[in-house]
Amino acid sequence: MLTGSQSPQGRRKAYDGMAQQQETRAGSADVAEGGFVDDVTDAAAREEAHTARGTARPLTVVGNPVLHRECAQVTEFGDDLAALVDDMFASQRAAEGVGIAANQIGVDAKVFVYDCYDDEGVRHVGVVCNPVLDELPAERRVLDDGNEGCLSVPGAYHPLARPDYAVVRGQDAQGRSITVEGTGYFARCLQHETDHLHGYLYIDRLSKRERKDVLRQMAESTPRYETVPNA
């Protein structure tokens, strides 16, 4: 889960009919112009519906084996997945995050959800199964070296350079192909969550010295939310 600070004016706190109800539960969204998923329309209502149905779960932290291996492909797109998505949204809100991967609540499955503002203050809410990041052409690789944090590394932050534009391809909770586009802080979120599902934490992209500093910060802090003790 990505953490930080962001609002519509800057960065949001902590990196805000039956047919319609079924559509919301599935975590699906319409396709916007250009072929990218429309994850903006009714963002607040969709997040609220997921969270109301879900139950917040404790979060895994660095050192838990589920965080350090690639997750299993999602192959079943039914009620169990829909319930997992609801719990992930509830867990994300409880921890004040903007994105959460399934292995961060101990589930070995390639799925993440997000509720994240971009740098223009636009709120994006959605779910991606089996995500794959596009390789960007050189002209699109403009790096942003902003601070990054993770609720699986609670209380710690460190600058990390990532492209300020990202495209993720995958499936929605009904198994339909989707493509999600992100810029700025939202691009960082998409990259961060996809990394989780391939067994990487953001600290794995830091130098040994930087990683040591982050783990020191974590050791000196107290999480604001329930975590799973490592064995």
Q: For the residues 30-35, what does the mean pLDDT come to?
A: 61
pLDDT band at 9 (very low <50, low <70, confident <90, very high): very low
CA triple 102-195-217, angle to 5 deg: 90
Can you give the pLDDT at residue 29? 54
pLDDT in tens, 205-221: 999 999 999 999 999 99
Token pair in block for residue 173: 């909770």
Whether 120 sits among the annotated catalytic residues: the reply is no
Can you give the pLDDT at residue 138? 87
pLDDT in tens, 71-122: 999 999 999 999 999 999 999 999 999 999 999 999 999 999 999 999 999 9
Q: For the residues 170-189, what does the mean pLDDT come to?
A: 97
Q: For the residues 154-165, what does the mean pLDDT come to?
A: 96
CA distance 83 to 199: 23
Three-state SS at 220? helix
The pTM score is 0.87
Predicted confidence (pLDDT) at residue 4 exceeds the cutoff of 70:
no
Options 181, 193, 220, 226, the catalytic residue: 193
Look at 3-17, 61-75, 103-117 and tell me which has the smallest mean pLDDT.
3-17
Q: How far is CA 127 from the centre of its chain?
A: 9
Interacting residues of 86 by C-beta distance below 8 A, sequence separation 6+: 25, 50, 51, 53, 54, 55
Interacting residues of 208 by C-beta distance below 8 A, sequence separation 6+: none
pLDDT band at 142 (very low <50, low <70, confident <90, very high): very high
Structural domains in the chain? 2-220 (3.90.45.10)
pLDDT in tens, 187-209: 999 999 999 999 999 999 999 99
Residue-averaged pLDDT of the chain: 88
Return the closest-CA partner of residue 224 out of 96, 85, 108, 104.
96
**Alpha-carbon dihedral of residues 66, 148, 215, 56, nearest 10 degrees?**
-50
pLDDT band at 25 (very low <50, low <70, confident <90, very high): very low
